[in-house]
Homo-oligomer: A and B are copies of this chain.
Amino acid sequence: MLLKALEKNIRAGCLNLRMPDGTWHRFGSEPPEAYWYVNDPTMLTRLLRDPEYALGDTYLARGWDTEYGEGLRTLLQVLVRNFGQVQARGWSRLRELLYRWLMPRNGIARSQRQIEQHYDLDEWLFRRFLDREMFYSCAYFTRPDLSLEEAQQAKCELIRRKLLLQPGQKVLDIGSGWGGLAFYLATRAEVQVTGLTLSGEQWRVARQEAEKRGLAGRVQFLLEDYRQHRGRYDRIVSVGMFEHVGLRNYGAFFRQVEQLLAPDGVALLHTIGCSQTDGAINPWMRRHVFPGAHLPSLSQLAPAVERARLQVADLEVWRLHYAYTLREWFRRFQQVREEVVKRMGERFARLWEFYLAGCEAKFLYGDLVVFQVQMAKQHGPVPITRDYLGSASTLVP
């Protein structure tokens, strides 16, 4: 049955399947060539029953392998490209519906645990595959040949422009990570930045870094949930944090943004999203990589924004930028894979590389995008044309 499904669906690219008994099957004929080595025949039935979940799970359990290095990327791209449009059904669909209905709300304590699970993985790992400023969100590749470092700077510069900052303004960064964006804005726009994070590791590293750079007077980091923070800000920015908020908290998130934002304020939300409503997040990814996460569609964002009486002032939709970012993270991760296996084991290395390559494939051939939603209150200060953003080619010096 799996062979039949492959036979029927593989149209773009080519898949070479080696069964445990050494027999080969070939599907499709176009490049690129992907290789899929089945080690454990029971993975096939698991895959048929619940492909979305089982693909990652059987890889972790060494149920299958592929070519070293780039092989995993190619294989997942061929699979997503040809099966991406196949609607989830059966167990997959049922579990997703149940999850939506029964999904626990991410309370403050739960959010704290979820964030620790991922981001408190030690600094060592993230230093290995992120850029030197440790931006752990989509970079902006104004040209495909930018380095990851340049593309992350371009992203920060675009955000600075979208925030319409003036010197001395107070900026809140919800989900401040290792502090890179806060440092950028404080330095380039001479603003006061308050960063919120729930990760103790990130908090420790960011404060250390602020001291080292002599920015402690202009940037402060708090280990605090966005729901508990009080204050009033000229600008609010949130990059790569909204993915963790959870569908049931969207109302609370935007109400809080509205509360914290000055009447002539501007807010910018940067989040992975899904261009289809039923995309959500891969259940395996939610279980093993980002517990509690949900990727919003526009139809899920918009009602929450409107109910908070914020106005959407501009929306930019990025698609390939994250594919380029993930490709580079994957490349850097592969260079230190042996070290990772030594420190954290083969299973962890597999989890991490499947996560990076799988997401890249979904940004290339699936429904994943990045939304940059610029918001203001009524009569906000956003100009009437986009000329204040300048051209993308000027984002990198």
**Which residues of chain B are near A277, meaning CB under 8 Å?**
303, 306-307
| Binding-face segment, A13-21, A129-137, A264-272, A318-326 | A318-326
Contact call A384/B319, Cβ cutoff below 8 A: yes
**Which residues of chain B are near A389, meaning CB under 8 Å?**
386
Contact call A386/B384, Cβ cutoff below 8 A: no
Q: Cβ of A309 < 8 Å from any Cβ of B?
A: yes
Q: Cβ of A297 < 8 Å from any Cβ of B?
A: yes
Contact call A299/B302, Cβ cutoff below 8 A: yes
Q: Cβ of A387 < 8 Å from any Cβ of B?
A: yes
User: Which of B309, B320, B321, B387 is the one whose CB lies under 8 Å from A276?
Assistant: B309
Q: Cβ of A317 < 8 Å from any Cβ of B?
A: yes
A315 with B318: in contact, given A297-B302, A305-B298 (CB under 8 Å)?
no
Write out, one digit per residue, whether chain A residues 367-397 have a CB within 8 A of any chain B CB (1) or not (0).
1010000000011000011110101110000
Q: Cβ of A152 < 8 Å from any Cβ of B?
A: no
Find residues 278-333 in chain A having any chain B CB closer than 8 Å to their own CB.
297-299, 301-303, 305-307, 309, 311-321
Contact call B275/A312, Cβ cutoff below 8 A: yes
User: Which of B297, B311, B379 is the one whose CB lies under 8 Å from A369?
Assistant: B311
Total copies of the chain: 2
Q: Cβ of A92 < 8 Å from any Cβ of B?
A: no
Residue from the set A141, A277, A318, A321 with the largest chain B CB neighbour count within 10 Å? A277
Q: By the criterion of a CB under 8 Å from any partner CB, how many residues of chain A are at the interface?
A: 41
Q: How far is the CA of A311 from the CA of B274 in the complex (A)?
A: 9
CB distance from A178 to the nearest CB of B (A): 26
**Which residues of chain B are near A315, meaning CB under 8 Å?**
312, 314-315, 317
Write out, one digit per residue, whether chain A residues 133-163 have a CB within 8 A of any chain B CB (1) or not (0).
0000000111000000000000000000000
Contact call A275/B369, Cβ cutoff below 8 A: no
CB distance from A12 to the nearest CB of B (A): 11
Q: How far is the CA of A134 from the CA of B215 in the complex (A)?
A: 57
Q: How far is the CA of A59 from the CA of B21 in the complex (A)?
A: 86
Contact call B306/A276, Cβ cutoff below 8 A: yes
**Which residues of chain B are near A307, meaning CB under 8 Å?**
277
Contact call A302/B298, Cβ cutoff below 8 A: yes
Contact call A275/B391, Cβ cutoff below 8 A: no
In the complex, the chain B residue whose C-beta lies closest to that of A321 is B384
Residue from the set A303, A318, A321 with the largest chain B CB neighbour count within 10 Å? A303
Q: How far is the CA of A307 from the CA of B276 in the complex (A)?
A: 7
Contact call B276/A384, Cβ cutoff below 8 A: no
Q: How far is the CA of A315 from the CA of B305 in the complex (A)?
A: 15
**Which residues of chain B are near A312, meaning CB under 8 Å?**
275, 298, 315, 317
In the complex, the chain B residue whose C-beta lies closest to that of A303 is B299
CB distance from A177 to the nearest CB of B (A): 24
Write out, one digit per residue, whether chain A residues 328-355 have a CB within 8 A of any chain B CB (1) or not (0).
0000000000000000000000000000
Contact call B298/A384, Cβ cutoff below 8 A: no
CB distance from A142 to the nearest CB of B (A): 6
Find residues 102-146 in chain A having any chain B CB closer than 8 Å to their own CB.
140-142
Q: How far is the CA of A277 from the CA of B314 in the complex (A)?
A: 17
A317 with B313: in contact, given A141-B384, A387-B392, A387-B393 (CB under 8 Å)?
yes
Q: How far is the CA of A153 from the CA of B68 in the complex (A)?
A: 56
Question: Can you list 9 A-B pairs with a CB-CB distance of less than 8 A?
Answer: A141-B384, A302-B302, A312-B317, A314-B316, A316-B386, A365-B379, A385-B393, A386-B392, A391-B391
What are the 8 tightest A-B residue pairs by CB atom distance, in nearest-first order? Answer: A385-B392, A315-B315, A299-B302, A298-B302, A299-B303, A275-B311, A277-B306, A387-B392
